Amino acid sequence: MTSEPIRLGVAGLGRAFVLMLPTFRADTRLRLTAAAAPRAASRTAFRGEFGGTTHADVGALCADPQVEAIYVATPHQMHADHVVAAAEAGKHVLVDKPLAVSLEDGARMVAACDRAGVHLIVGPSHSFDAPVQLARQIIASGEFGSLRMIQALNYTDFLYRPRRAEELRTDQGGGILFSQAVHQIDMVRLLAGGLGQRVSAMTGAWDAARPTEGAYSALLQFENGVFATLTYSGYAHFDSDIWMGNVGELGHDKDPAAYGTARRALSGADPASEATLKARRTYGGGESPAPPQHHEHFGPVIVACDRADLRLTPDGVEINGGTSRGFRAAPLHAAPRASVVDALWQALRHGQPPVQTGAWGLASLEVCHAILTSAATGQIVDLTRQIAAPTQKEEP
């Protein structure tokens, strides 16, 4: 066991990496030693800020002897090949959600990491958020009786943010299911114990210019009798952040006057100009998020227990009992996604993996596919790849 910082390489310097920047800059348990990206501007920016070496391809990054673990932040459809390459090179892996696009690729990734004896962690997802973790602790304590029902919903402008062509193709991991539903699924599975049983769902694809799923609603039943409703719309009309105190998903205070920004920015944009807008959101493109004032969130989540309903907020958990209401704060960390680093640190330095392993990510991915299948067939879909979340006494 060592207390040395984890020597982390990064595969992909796009939007996912940008969203991790405040954490990488603030958490001293990580040292960014190398990166791979196709854009020279991103590689130059990385060397300028973090030093280390940069590579034009992920294979060279995997072979870099200075790298101990790799954060795979490449596009969804590339995750499988990049994770397998990292595992075969003996590197531990943190792969951005979703684990993969297809279940077959997800299973291949889990098997490759198992064979190599390396850790595979899937994140960040909103299941790492401090208010979600606090709610889980409250549920596990039994203070308010048994968990009975969960409702999660979110209305955003996701589909109208700048996109590459493949981000609007479901078979390439585009649309809301693989990018957004997986957040809700991860949160709900964590709170309910993990063992989903069956799914019934409908989806909506209502804009021919953005030809992929932009909305869904699902009923997810669990083996322990808990059930959850999950609803999401990314069509940039109602903004459910108004129900979160006008705090955006990344934890920043949000100006209500900015309503409609996403659709206005895309108005009249052709594919080339949309690609330019997308590039500005990548590392080296000019955008750099500031540290947030609150925890990240993924829209309203209500957890119904026997003796209280818990409402997750960007600052903690509101407890609505039979005759009184209270609030429990979740302290804010200097590194916004410190819990993701906690997971990596505990796995690599103490041999204690988090809940969000590759097998967990595969189970959440199964629910994404079950939503698509149920919507297409009108049938209830049974789940077969689910795993239980460890009880909190079993965790470090």
Residue 185's closest CA among 373, 370, 368, 374?
A: 368
DSSP state of 309: E
Q: What is the CA radius of gyration of the chain?
A: 20
Mean pLDDT of 281-302: 90
Yes or no: say if 21 and 40 are a contact pair by the CB < 8 Å rule.
Answer: no
pLDDT score recorded for residue 1: 60
Instruction: Say if residues 110 and 358 touch (Cβ distance below 8 Å).
Output: yes
Q: What is the DSSP letter of 136?
A: H
pTM of the full predicted structure? 0.96
Q: What is the pLDDT of residue 315?
A: 98
In whole angstroms, give the CA distance from residue 154 to residue 239. 8
**Per-residue pLDDT tens digits for 27-77:** 999 999 999 999 999 999 999 999 999 999 999 999 999 999 999 999 999
Residues near 202 by beta carbon (within 8 Å), at least 6 away in sequence: 216, 217, 218, 374, 375
Identity (one letter) of the amino acid at 154? N
Q: What are the start-end ranges of the H helices in 235-323?
A: 261-266, 271-280
Residue 147 has pLDDT above 90, yes or no: yes
The pLDDT value given to residue 2: 75
With contact defined as beta carbons under 8 Å apart, do 132 and 126 qualify? yes
CA-to-CA distance for 378 and 200, rounded, in angstroms? 8
Mean pLDDT of the chain: 95
Q: How far apart are the first and last CA of the chain?
A: 16
Q: Quick one: pLDDT at residue 64? A: 97
Q: Is the pLDDT of residue 134 over 90?
A: yes
Q: Measure CA 195 to chain center.
A: 19
Architecture of domain 127-333+366-394: 2-Layer Sandwich (3.30)
At 211, is the pLDDT very low, low, confident or very high (cuts 50, 70, 90)? very high
Quote the CA–CA distance of 62 and 31 in Å, as a whole number: 16
Class of domain 6-126+335-357: alpha beta
Side-chain-side CA neighbours of residue 49 (13 Å): 17
Q: Which is more confident, 242 or 391?
A: 242
**DSSP classification of residue 256:** G
- Amino acid identity of residue 89, one-letter, is A
Judge if the upstream peptide bond of residue 353 is cis by omega within 30 degrees of 0: no
**Is 363 buried (19+), middle (13-18) or exposed (0-12) by CB count in 10 A?**
buried
Amino acid at 290: A
Q: Contact at 8 Å (CB) between 138 and 317? A: yes
Residue ranges covered by each domain of the chain: 6-126+335-357, 127-333+366-394
Separation of CA 141 from chain center: 26
237, HSE (Cβ side, Cα atoms, 13 Å): 6
Dihedral in degrees, nearest 10, Cα atoms 78, 171, 358, 299: 110
Looking at residue 278, its pLDDT comes to 84
The predicted-structure confidence for 346-394, as pLDDT tens digits, reads as follows 999 999 999 999 999 999 999 999 999 999 999 999 999 999 999 865 4
The better pLDDT of the pair 274, 90 is held by: 90
Q: Which helix (H) or strand (E) holds 106?
A: helix 103-116
Q: In this structure, is the dihedral angle defined by the CA atoms of residues 229, 230, 233 and 238, taken in order, positive or negative?
A: positive
User: Which residues in 216-248 are b (16+ Cβ under 10 Å) and which e?
Assistant: bbbebbbeeebbbbbbbbbbbeebbbebbeebb
Length of the chain: 396
pLDDT band at 396 (very low <50, low <70, confident <90, very high): very low
pLDDT for the residue numbered 391 = 81
Residue type, 38: P
Mean pLDDT to the nearest integer, 307-329: 97
Kind and range of the H or E element at 8?
strand 6-11
Task: Examine the pLDDT at 288 and tell me if it is beyond 80.
Answer: no
**pLDDT tens for residues 153-195?**
999 999 999 998 899 999 999 999 999 999 999 999 999 999 9
Q: What is the pLDDT of residue 393?
A: 54
